[in-house]
């Protein structure tokens, strides 16, 4: 029997996230996704008048491909995939994984070839700026384990987090914050091990309520490239290139990361930040407020939406909120500021707007967890 949650999620992606129009070409990339859901998504796209194109991947196969990567091979695949991406108007990226560390033993030089000639050329240069897109993870035992939950409990959590949020209400509640961020110049962030300043003057602010990510619940912008100064201590584990990093600490001077450490993985952290010149500069800053996501689970699409958190991202800037930084890296590192994670404050032009993860200005209170549906 068809799981009704599959239908609900497929309809959310097709109708709300993408708003697929008659005749629109939709590329679906499914990594280790149950066949039943891919079939349901094809049905939903077709019923909306879209033309579904589907590729199914397996992460162990992808690992083998990357471990044996050559420059010519990655350039060839990148050219083919770029042409395909240029041929569609919509993109749905579904990623499941039975092992979150599947790519941990792909050598750094091989991963760099993939990121430079395949990922960056296809996704950073075409998919993100030129298509209507949405990406999401799929609940797996591996994700349940990372979240410290049973598989069944995690599946229930997943569908509640993804489809249980009133995204229309969230979008309305974001409007005052959007207006405030648009006119803000100086941002000051304090907290346990953190004292950071930057300017965002003149850089756009982008509200996100289920259009490009599911789950969703963030509003992002970008610091002026050379304005970031101070230190930040992240308190969320973060998975990147198949490796889990803990207690990342970055020191900035005039926008650049001049010192980077992590518990046990400092060498690998700096190897990633040395991928290119832009990797040591910031390409995104975002405030998050999904009321149902309260703790990290080593999956950035969830962790970057944690209520009471923010992420500050080394690497590529988005064209919608652009400071000019270009990199093959885009690494969303998350810091939670709720009291149980050490607390913290965020100031806009010397005015306190959020303390210990709670918005304190009356016009922003609609984004606090109790107002968005969680109790």
299-346 per-position pLDDT tens digit: 888 999 999 999 999 999 999 999 999 998 999 999 999 999 999 999
Judge if 74 and 198 occupy the same domain.
no
Judge if 144 and 195 occupy the same domain.
no
Is the pLDDT at 237 greater than 60, yes or no?
Answer: yes
Judge if 136 and 20 occupy the same domain.
yes
Read off the pLDDT band of 243 (50, 70, 90): confident
Judge if 143 and 186 occupy the same domain.
no
**Domain enclosing residue 240, as ranges:** 167-372
Is the pLDDT at 363 greater than 80, yes or no?
Answer: yes
The rounded distance, in Å, linking the Cα atoms of 316 and 120 is: 10
Judge if 262 and 248 occupy the same domain.
yes
Q: Would you state the pLDDT for residue 330?
A: 94
HSE-CB at 227 with a 13 A cutoff on CA atoms is: 20
HSE-CB at 218 with a 13 A cutoff on CA atoms is: 26
Read off the pLDDT band of 375 (50, 70, 90): very low
Judge if 309 and 215 occupy the same domain.
yes
CATH number at residue 141: 3.40.1830.10
Angle between helix 4-11 and helix 35-47 axes, rounded to 10 deg: 50
Judge if 287 and 217 occupy the same domain.
yes
89-144 per-position pLDDT tens digit: 999 999 987 787 888 889 989 999 999 999 999 999 999 999 999 999 898 888 88
pTM score, whole prediction: 0.81
Q: pLDDT: is 226 or 213 the higher one?
A: 226
Nearest Cα to Cα of residue 212 among 17, 12, 50: 17
Q: 163, 189, 209: which is the final residue of a domain? A: 163
The rounded distance, in Å, linking the Cα atoms of 220 and 206 is: 5
Judge if 191 and 102 occupy the same domain.
no
131-156 per-position pLDDT tens digit: 999 999 898 888 888 888 899 999 99
Is the pLDDT at 245 greater than 90, yes or no?
Answer: yes
Q: 145, 163, 181: which is the final residue of a domain? A: 163
**DSSP per-residue string spanning 175-219:** HHHHHHHHT--EEEEEETTEEEEEE-TT---EEESSSSBSS--EE
Please count the structural domains in the chain: 2
Judge if 209 and 105 occupy the same domain.
no
CA angle 62, 67, 71 (to 5 degrees): 100
Q: Would you state the pLDDT for residue 161?
A: 86
Judge if 185 and 145 occupy the same domain.
no
Is the pLDDT at 163 greater than 90, yes or no?
Answer: no
Q: 144, 163, 182: which is the final residue of a domain? A: 163
Read off the pLDDT band of 374 (50, 70, 90): low
Judge if 128 and 184 occupy the same domain.
no
Judge if 118 and 238 occupy the same domain.
no
């Amino acid at each position: 029997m068809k799981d009704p949650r599959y239908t609900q999620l497929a309809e959310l992606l097709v109708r709300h996230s993408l708003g697929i129009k008659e005749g629109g070409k939709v590329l679906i990339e499914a990594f280790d996704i149950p066949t039943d859901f891919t079939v349901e998504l094809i049905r939903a796209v077709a019923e909306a008048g879209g033309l579904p194109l589907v590729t199914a991947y397996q992460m162990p196969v992808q690992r083998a491909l990357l471990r044996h990567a050559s420059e010519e091979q990655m350039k060839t695949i990148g050219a083919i995939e770029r042409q395909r991406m240029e041929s569609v108007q919509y993109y749905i990226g579904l990623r499941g994984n039975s092992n979150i560390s599947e790519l941990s033993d792909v050598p750094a030089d091989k991963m760099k070839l993939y990121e430079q000639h395949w990922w960056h050329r296809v996704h950073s240069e075409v998919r993100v700026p030129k298509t209507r897109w949405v990406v999401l993870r799929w609940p797996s035992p591996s994700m349940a384990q990372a979240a410290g939950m049973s598989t069944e409990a995690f599946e229930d959590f997943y569908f509640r987090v993804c489809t249980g949020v009133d995204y229309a209400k969230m979008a309305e509640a974001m409007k005052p914050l959007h207006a405030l961020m648009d006119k803000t110049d100086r941002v000051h962030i304090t907290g346990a091990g953190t004292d950071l300043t930057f300017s965002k003057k003149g850089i756009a602010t982008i509200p996100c309520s289920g259009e490009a990510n599911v789950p969703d619940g963030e509003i992002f912008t970008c610091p002026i490239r050379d304005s970031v100064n101070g230190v930040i201590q992240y308190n969320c584990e973060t998975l990147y290139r198949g490796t889990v990093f803990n207690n990342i600490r970055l020191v900035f001077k005039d926008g650049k990361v001049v010192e980077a450490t992590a518990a046990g993985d400092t060498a690998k952290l700096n190897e990633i930040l040395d991928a290119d010149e832009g990797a040591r500069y910031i390409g995104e800053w975002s405030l998050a407020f999904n009321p149902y996501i309260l703790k990290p689970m080593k999956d950035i699409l969830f962790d970057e939406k944690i209520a009471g958190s923010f992420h500050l991202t080394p690497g590529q800037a988005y064209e919608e909120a652009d400071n000019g930084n270009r990199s093959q890296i885009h690494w969303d590192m998350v810091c939670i500021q709720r009291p149980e994670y050490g607390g913290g404050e965020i100031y806009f032009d010397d005015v306190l707007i959020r303390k210990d993860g709670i918005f304190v200005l009356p016009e922003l209170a609609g984004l606090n967890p109790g107002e968005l549906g969680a109790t």
